[in-house]
Amino acid sequence: MQKIKGVGLGLRHRHFQEFIEDKPDVPWLEVHTENFFSQHSTSSKYLAKISQNYPISAHCVGLSIGSAAVACPVREQHLQHIKKTVDWLQPSMISDHLSWSASDGVHYLPDLLPILYTEEAFNIVSKNINRVQDVLQRQILIENPSSYLRFNDSTILEWDFLAELSKVTGCGLLLDVNNIYVSAFNHGFDALTYLECLPVAAVKEMHLAGYSIDIIENKEVYIDTHGQKVYDGVWQLYEKAIQRFGEVPTLIEWDTDVPELSVLLAEKYKAEAIIAKVLNKQVA
C-alpha cells in the first residue's frame, strides 16, 4: 500500500487508456469504489493495470453511514461489497460521505442525502462508522457534504458534528473545499469558520471540484455537480485550507461531462501552484 502525496485526479472511464499507455505524471488516482465491485469486470481489469503505476484512493458513495435503520441489509450488503473490493485493490485511503442513502433496508436513493444534526444522529453515525472501520480493519475518512436544505430539528453545527466524529470514532476527515463553499452559499454561513473549527490532524485529504448554479423559486442555489472547472472562490478557500491544514493530498474531481485529460491536468497544476505559493515551495 503506497502513501499518497500531492495533487491527484479522479480516474474515469474516458481516461483509462491514457493512464495505461501514456502514463501521465499524476502522483495518485481516486476511484469510485462502487464502479469496481466485480473484480473480474473489464473496468476492474483496467484498474488492475493502472494501479501498477499509480497509488489508488477508494472513494465510496453508498456506505450510507447516516442511515438510522437498525436492521439495514442493503447497507450491510454494500459494506461487504466494499470490503471485497478493498481487499483486492488495497487502496491507500478509503473515504465516504457524511450522508445516507438507505432507509429501512428496502428503500434506496442513490444520492448523498442530508443529515439531521442531533445527538441521536451523532450516536447512529458514530456506530455506523465504527462498524465500517471494524469490518475493513482500518481508518476511513468522512467527507463533509454539500447540502441544499436544513432540518428544523438540527441542534449541532455540521463542523462540530464532524470534529467530534473524528474524535470519538478515530475516523479521518476528507475536506471537500467545494462542498464547504457550496453549502456556505446555500445556507449563509462563513466558510472560514468551518475550516477553523475542524481539527488539523484529522484532515487527511481534500477535494476540489466545480459546481453549477440553479435558480429555484427565483433564488440562486449552488449545486455540487462536479461538471465544471473549480471556481475562483473555491480556489481562494483552498488557499486558506492549505494555510490551516498544510500540504494535504488533494484531488481534482470531475464526474459529469468529463473533459479531456489535459483539462484535468491544468486544474492539477493550479492546485500545485497554490500549495507552492502558500508553503513557499518550488512547483515540481
Partner 1 sequence: MIKSTQPTNPLSQVTTLAELQRNFISDCLSGKLKQDNILLAKDIDSSVISAQGLMGIYQNSAIANITQSLILTYPVIEKLVGEEFFSAMCRQFIYTAWPKSGNMDDYGLEFADFLAEFEHVKHLIYLKDVARLEWAFHQSSLADDASITDWSTLAQASDVLQLTFLVTPSLSLVSSTFPIDQIWHLNQDNTSPDMEVEFADEQDSDTFIVLFRQQLKTVVLPITAGEFALLQAFEHRETFEKAIIVASQKQTNFSVDESLKKFIELGIISGFVENIDT
Return residues touching partner 1 (CB under 8 A): 13, 34, 37-38, 40-43, 45-46, 61-62, 64, 67-70, 74, 77-78, 81, 100-104, 106-111, 113-114, 116, 118-122, 124, 148-157, 160-161, 164, 214, 216-217, 219, 221, 223, 256
Nearer to partner 1, 151 or 269 (CB): 151
Nearer to partner 1, 23 or 281 (CB): 23
Contacts of 97 (CB under 8 A, 6+ apart): 61, 65, 112, 142, 143, 145
Nearer to partner 1, 8 or 62 (CB): 62
User: How far apart are alpha carbons 117 and 162 in whole angstroms?
Assistant: 10
DSSP characters for 14-31?
Answer: GGHHHHHHT--S-S-EEE
185, 222 contact by CB (below 8 A):
yes
For residue 281, the minimal CB distance to partner 1 (Å) is 37
For residue 213, the minimal CB distance to partner 1 (Å) is 12
**Positive or negative CA dihedral for 237, 240, 241, 242?**
positive
For residue 100, the minimal CB distance to partner 1 (Å) is 6
For residue 140, the minimal CB distance to partner 1 (Å) is 16
Nearer to partner 1, 160 or 201 (CB): 160
User: How far apart are alpha carbons 165 and 140 in whole angstroms?
Assistant: 12
Contacts of 67 (CB under 8 A, 6+ apart): 75, 100, 101, 102, 103, 124, 128
For residue 64, the minimal CB distance to partner 1 (Å) is 7
